[in-house]
Amino acid sequence: MKYSLERSLPVVMALALMACGDSDSEKDSAEDTNTGAVGFSQTATWTFTEPDSGEKTECFDFDANQVVPCENSTAWDMKIVQGTGGRSTPSFYTNSGVSGDGNGAALGSPFDYTWEELSAFRSGTVDGTGATIPAQAFSEDSAANAFSDSVFVYADRRMTPTHQVFVVTTDKAQSLPDTSTANTAFALQVVDYYGGNTGATSGHVSIRWVDVTDAQADPRTLEINATSYTAWTHVDLVNGTVVDAPTDDNWHLAFQRYFVKTNSGISGNGSVGSFKGTAVADNADDAAKLAALQDGSNHWGWTSSGWSRSSWSVDTASSTLNPSYQGTYPNPLDFGFYLYHPTANDTVPVAHMLSPGSSRGVMLRSGDGNSHARVRLTEIRYADEADYNSQRTYTFEFEVEPAR
């Protein structure tokens, strides 16, 4: 089975978590939810035409087989965002996590299943072998930032902190960390996941941090109850406190289990920015891990010629529907739902055209959380088949398992 777990966890860790759980079981196994399943008894087709210019966002409800408003709704199930800048390629999202108010999710990415494999699924929750798909195998959209996939590794049935050093600023308008003004930039490490009273309760995240203006001072520390799977715990790094009533500008980081978001971009209206410093060696002892936090020359992204980073990371939306491409130039580059062809070939008549990856697909959970659909991109039609820069129309095919 190719199931991954919850948003952005690395696949190896995800599979291990699902097989073993951490010390207090990172979510119980899902019950067999196929009782009374009605199967994939409906179909839907979504035809999306990109704009002549500018941006375009469109949402589709596969149960109703129609385009619906995206705003503040659980009705839509899949979203397309077409960016600016010529004929840019679209991005795809589920109605979940940071992308919507719904209970949607995706089972893996367009690379994980062929359409033939998905077609053998007995329902949205039972695969072709008759095995129940755990609910946590469906990934919600999440915030991508400097902390993504860098805070923990899963080893010996425990979430182990990497002690990666992060630099966090309260003012991303600064091109570099301000090393002359206190409380504007910090070096930070996540140091534990089992803080709790017994030291064995997962989701009790411990952090430590120093001001970049006084790195040799004793680090400030804070234990954060991040045990909820739905709510976020917000932290004010300037005052070193948990924020019970977050506003636009009174928090800097937020924690939920093994996920971190910053008060920036899609996650908040604040001015927080962050980036990763140099990784800490896996075999480093406690003294070396602490030294890394306080050693700006080697672990904060500082070099002999100055800061190695000139811009800050802010939170952006990440979905498994937008996997990193596979392939090497000048061969076709595979983006999951579609392929980009740098040169003309048997598939496309001219260079720089796209073609659908119709042999693969994704299983989606609806925004309402009570139905499923397998989906694939079946056609990309150009207004002028000899002009890669002409307007494109995308056609998606859905096979729908309605709500029971």
Helix (H) / strand (E) element for 299: namely helix 296-299
Cβ 147 vs Cβ 162: under 8 Å: no
- List, in sequence order, every residue forming a beta bridge with 269; answer none if it has no partner: none
What pLDDT, on the 0 to 100 scale, is given for residue 301?
Answer: 64
Domain assignment present for residue 293? The answer is: yes
CA–CA gap between residue 140 and residue 132 (Å, rounded): 19
Domain assignment present for residue 26? The answer is: no
What pLDDT, on the 0 to 100 scale, is given for residue 34?
Answer: 39
113 and 102 co-located in one domain: yes
Mean pLDDT across 370-390 = 95
Domain assignment present for residue 133? The answer is: yes
What pLDDT, on the 0 to 100 scale, is given for residue 18?
Answer: 42
Domain assignment present for residue 22? The answer is: no
In this predicted structure, the answer to whether residue 353 has a pLDDT above a threshold of 60 is yes
What pLDDT, on the 0 to 100 scale, is given for residue 149?
Answer: 80
CA–CA gap between residue 311 and residue 13 (Å, rounded): 30
What pLDDT, on the 0 to 100 scale, is given for residue 215?
Answer: 84
Handedness of CA 140, 69, 323, 398 (dihedral sign): positive
User: Looking at residue 136, what DSSP letter applies?
Assistant: G
Q: Which has the higher per-residue pLDDT, 240 or 229?
A: 240
- List, in sequence order, every residue forming a beta bridge with 398; answer none if it has no partner: 44, 375
What pLDDT, on the 0 to 100 scale, is given for residue 172?
Answer: 87
In this predicted structure, the answer to whether residue 310 has a pLDDT above a threshold of 70 is no
Domain boundary among 282, 301, 316: 316
CA–CA gap between residue 245 and residue 242 (Å, rounded): 9
User: Looking at residue 277, what DSSP letter applies?
Assistant: -
288 and 227 co-located in one domain: yes
306 and 202 co-located in one domain: yes
Secondary structure class of 16 (helix, strand, coil):
helix
Domain boundary among 294, 316, 338: 316
Cβ 367 vs Cβ 359: under 8 Å: no
Domain assignment present for residue 100? The answer is: yes
**Residue range 238-272, pLDDT digits in tens:** 999 999 999 999 999 999 988 899 999 989 999 99
What pLDDT, on the 0 to 100 scale, is given for residue 13?
Answer: 42
Domain assignment present for residue 3? The answer is: no
Domain boundary among 266, 297, 316: 316
* Buried-state track 72-91, b at ≥16 Cβ within 10 A, e below 16: ebbbbbbbbbbeeeeeeebb
What pLDDT, on the 0 to 100 scale, is given for residue 8?
Answer: 42
Geometric angle at alpha carbon 100, from 110 and 47, rounded to 5°:
55
Residue 308's pLDDT band (boundaries 50, 70, 90)?
low
235 and 293 co-located in one domain: yes
Residue 90 is which amino acid? P
Q: Both ends of the chain: CA-CA distance in Å?
A: 25
Mean pLDDT across 194-221 = 89
What pLDDT, on the 0 to 100 scale, is given for residue 71?
Answer: 87
39 and 182 co-located in one domain: no
CA–CA gap between residue 315 and residue 141 (Å, rounded): 12
191 and 126 co-located in one domain: no
Mean pLDDT across 139-146 = 89
136 and 176 co-located in one domain: no
155 and 134 co-located in one domain: no
In this predicted structure, the answer to whether residue 219 has a pLDDT above a threshold of 90 is yes
Cβ 160 vs Cβ 153: under 8 Å: yes
370 and 236 co-located in one domain: no
- List, in sequence order, every residue forming a beta bridge with 78; answer none if it has no partner: 60, 94
In this predicted structure, the answer to whether residue 296 has a pLDDT above a threshold of 80 is no
Q: Which domain holds residue 354?
A: 31-141+319-401
237 and 150 co-located in one domain: yes
95 and 49 co-located in one domain: yes
* Location of structure tokens 């045990």: 227
CA–CA gap between residue 245 and residue 234 (Å, rounded): 9
Single pTM value for the model: 0.73
| Cis amide linkage into residue 10, ω under 30° from 0 | no
Structurally, the chain folds into a number of domains equal to 2
Q: Which has the higher per-residue pLDDT, 350 or 21?
A: 350
Handedness of CA 10, 12, 16, 18 (dihedral sign): positive
In this predicted structure, the answer to whether residue 31 has a pLDDT above a threshold of 60 is no
What pLDDT, on the 0 to 100 scale, is given for residue 272?
Answer: 95
> In 11-93, which residue ranges form alpha helices assigned H by DSSP?
11-20
| Cis amide linkage into residue 330, ω under 30° from 0 | yes
Handedness of CA 369, 373, 374, 375 (dihedral sign): negative
211 and 196 co-located in one domain: yes
Mean predicted lDDT score pLDDT of the chain:
85
What pLDDT, on the 0 to 100 scale, is given for residue 298?
Answer: 60
Domain assignment present for residue 375? The answer is: yes
In this predicted structure, the answer to whether residue 279 has a pLDDT above a threshold of 50 is yes
Domain assignment present for residue 24? The answer is: no
What pLDDT, on the 0 to 100 scale, is given for residue 53?
Answer: 79
User: How far is the CA of 64 from the CAs of 33, 44, 61, 116, 133, in angstroms?
Assistant: 23, 8, 6, 25, 25
Cβ 217 vs Cβ 207: under 8 Å: no
User: How far is the CA of 380 from the CAs of 181, 291, 346, in angstroms?
Assistant: 53, 54, 16
**Residue range 158-207, pLDDT digits in tens:** 888 999 999 999 988 877 777 778 889 999 999 999 987 677 789 999 99
Residue 130's pLDDT band (boundaries 50, 70, 90)?
very high
- Using DSSP, how many helices (H) and how many strands (E) does the chain show? 4, 29
Out of 19-23, 144-148, 191-195, pick the least confident. Answer: 19-23
